[in-house]
């Protein structure tokens, strides 16, 4: 650690996700009244009062997982001269091929009335824990509840991740997910020459459906189209709605000839399907990855083939 960081006007430490400390600058050591041998390899819990441990366990890692950082978390540290109220910010990043959590700690001199009351309640809780076995049992129960809340937060976070990659109307993957997967497929093709193709689909004259039947019926039509695409895809194909009435299917390990066959079968299925409201057809465009492709070039080429089908009269498949 260089002198500029070591003697910075704020505390600084790094730790792993389990809370074990790797580094601590001289400013924080002075704040705590500790030497390096006392804190090296210790858990961050050893620096915190009991209420702050509970607060840390409840909020710190869930916030880090959801946001990628933690801003303005209030804690109370234990020092050789007493308790120190601090403000801590943290961020997780790679340091020398290892994941580390970097924390900046600033001593707080002024708290608003609510924060002061909260600190007092924490001190009271510490006193009760030390004096009675009953309070200790209550604290253990509280810790169990905290763990349950942490698990609930993690579950909610996973659900949010899924929702962030899903089209809310159709349940298909959204454009963001498709572009992330497309980048991975291009990287795989660049390194391993594993081919793939894209199939773009656009509902013909969809505006006419909205104008004739109304947007609620239009939404039902989009859901019906999505169900057909989902049921007819192969197990490893990725179907996404990328906007309006436009859909795209990522076809792994598929050459251009096979992609065209899939597109033609899909087009015929739409043409012959018994629709709930009005007959539908689709225009399609297919292309295969090429050497030097980026997400921009292959999407642009796919769009061009789709526009070629629409300009040629619709209800056809074009190759690009």
Supply the residues annotated as catalytic: 245
DSSP for the chain?
Answer: --HHHHT-SSEEEEE-TT-BEEEE-HHHHHHHT--HHHHTT-BGGGGB-HHHHHHHHHHHHHHHHHHSEEEEEEEEEEETTEEEEEEEEEEEEEETTEEEEEEEEEE-S---HHHHHHHHHHHHHHHHHHH-HHHHHHHHHHHHHHHHHHHHHHHHHHHHHHHHTB-TTT-SB-HHHHHHHHHHHHHHHHHH---EEEEEEEETTHHHHHHHH-HHHHHHHHHHHHHHHHHHS-TT-EEEEEETTEEEEEEET--HHHHHHHHHHHHHHHHH---SSS---EEEEEEE--TT--HHHHHHHHHHHHHHHHHTTSS-EEE-
Which helix (H) or strand (E) is 319 found in, with range? strand 317-319
């Amino acid at each position: 650690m260089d002198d500029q960081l070591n003697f910075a006007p704020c505390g600084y430490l790094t730790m792993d996700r389990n809370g074990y400390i790797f580094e601590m600058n001289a400013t924080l050591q002075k704040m705590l009244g500790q030497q390096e041998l006392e804190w090296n390899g210790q858990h961050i819990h050893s620096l915190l009062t009991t209420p702050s441990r509970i607060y840390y366990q409840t909020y710190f890692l869930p916030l880090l997982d959801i946001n990628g950082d933690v801003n303005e978390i209030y804690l109370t540290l234990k020092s050789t001269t007493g308790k120190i109220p601090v403000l801590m910010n943290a961020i997780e990043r790679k340091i020398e091929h290892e994941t580390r959590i970097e924390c900046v700690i600033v001593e707080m001199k002024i708290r608003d009335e609510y924060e002061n009351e909260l600190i007092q309640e924490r001190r009271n809780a510490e006193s009760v824990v030390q004096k009675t076995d009953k309070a200790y049992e209550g604290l253990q129960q509280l810790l169990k509840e905290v763990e349950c809340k942490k698990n609930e937060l993690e579950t909610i976070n996973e659900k949010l991740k899924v929702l962030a990659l899903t089209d809310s109307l159709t349940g298909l993957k959204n454009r963001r997910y498709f572009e992330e997967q497309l980048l991975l497929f291009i990287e795989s093709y660049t390194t391993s020459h594993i081919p793939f193709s894209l199939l773009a689909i656009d509902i013909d004259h969809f505006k006419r459906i909205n104008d004739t039947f109304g947007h609620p019926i239009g939404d039902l039509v989009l859901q019906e189209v999505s169900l057909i695409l989902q049921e007819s895809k192969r197990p490893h194909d990725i179907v996404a709605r990328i906007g309006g009435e436009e859909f795209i299917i990522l076809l792994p390990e598929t050459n251009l000839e096979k992609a065209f066959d899939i597109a033609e079968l899909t087009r015929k299925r739409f043409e012959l399907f018994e629709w709930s409201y009005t007959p539908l057809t689709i225009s399609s465009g297919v292309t295969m990855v090429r050497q030097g492709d980026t997400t921009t070039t292959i999407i642009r080429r796919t769009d061009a083939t789709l526009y070629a089908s629409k300009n040629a009269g619709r209800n056809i498949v074009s190759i690009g």
